[in-house]
Chain A
């Protein structure tokens, strides 16, 4: 309690100091210093203990991994120049880039890689990204610039895990020096150095003069958290921000007509859907599930909800995901929907409830679905639930029979951009709540087998075949109303270079090549 009282009086006296400082500061910014406005607060600067894209965005300017994604989500070498996977998908060997050092001068070598992979693989560290490396048996330093990682079981998608931002390399010396506080003292090999971080306000990075990749574009980058959509747009318009994301679709029009501002939108690796609890009536009947797919006009959905800025879902995976294979869309056909419902024994429709989060665009989507389903006689009630409440209602259910979930509107963005993480957690039979995110309670033997087959192999052709089959079955079984592929929408001053929002939702502030 004493501390609080102290804070109280200290704050009062500091208030005056702050006001004085505030007057002294001007708004003058040199052209080489840029401001990026995003919608949430930074949580951590330890990539191995991060799970939000906002934090990853800043971390990716400071740190680098062995592998990475370029702006088209293609796997590229960053700190590794080349790599070999054993045919059984159990051993992965990397040849490292020479002459790279961390920002604190520590050389980057095989020993440094081992320190990082060991840190990630050790469950005792309780890192948020441990699961990317929980299959690692051991990491072996072959020589100064070669390192091999051995897995306990075959895992075909492992290279995607290495390219995940959660697998970026931290200076072993910094890990030693800062211990648990590494999250606020980041030291990596990237082009930008950490300068300061005022929680809830801003985070500033400055140029790394010794960057191995050559000259760095900007003297400094300041990230600001601006939660209100309209405010971010206003900041770009008034020149206070150089790059803003996300841009709400409703505001596109305002920015598009303004000179000197570029508005861009690219497809993400995400997918939007309305799941139906396949263990509960009436959704146990495949005809009902297909009927609802025919009942929703996806083009109108995209036009009304996303102002036309979204793609139509053509599988349970987004086209940017590895091993995506397109399916024949369910056309908008309310008559057919009614016929299927009648065949299933619901000529007058039925009543159901859809759970949705509290974001206004999600509620808009839910309302659209409500309107569409009403036309085929399905009376869908909307329950908009705050995130914690929703989590409880979905995952505090031990026995599937006790689940109260009927329909759920959600989206899924596999951060590895691979088919495995794109399907298994949301449609895999082992992943029904509370284990995973399979809100449709979808359990299909063939799909489960295909997913397992894809997991057990590192052979591209084998994996491709397995995932193609799985996608086909899922599409036909229709555990979801397949809706849309969201887009990343961002806007920036046309003078800006090399700042890109990647399909996985993280920002890249320099080009990898």
Chain B
């Protein structure tokens, strides 16, 4: 796993939790520019907490370092992480359910100077033609797959350097999941780094460059996707013993 691209996100010995509960117990992770990095692991391993801590909301950061594009994220607000280009499509998507598709996307550009908002909007509609057909539709009336695309599209409106996705495949039909993964892979080819948290290890390891396996709040395994696909433990636990 040699990667000449500069490190975009650097997480060092991160400890975080909620109230008295410790969830992350020393996580080290890095994402290079333009890379697709996956985080796998069982429920409760701390995958969502990791993304929340990087985006600086909900969880309490206890110690460790988070550096994004040269900026220290440990002492900033969520809004600031967004302005720096570190975007998250969270669990549950958190769309503006009462607003239209078009408004959801436009508001995605809130953190930018918005002078080229129309170009960004056209770009997202090009990428997601099914959204273009539903510009005026209120967000909560969309199907699950369309809502996920809207959530990704809204994050893209902020021109992210890093896009973090928290289980985008949850609750979606297999062919929609395939499409979402294809879109994510395409994003990294156009230069946006992606940090992907997923349960679906099979598909994830097929698309990712590298992956980390979180267990009990620490990194149990890490390596290139090819290495992890061949790993006996990963095969047994996450890939159901299937050959990949």
Asked if chains A and B come from one complex, the reply is no
Give the A-binding residues of B (Cβ under 8 A). none
Give the B-binding residues of A (Cβ under 8 A). none
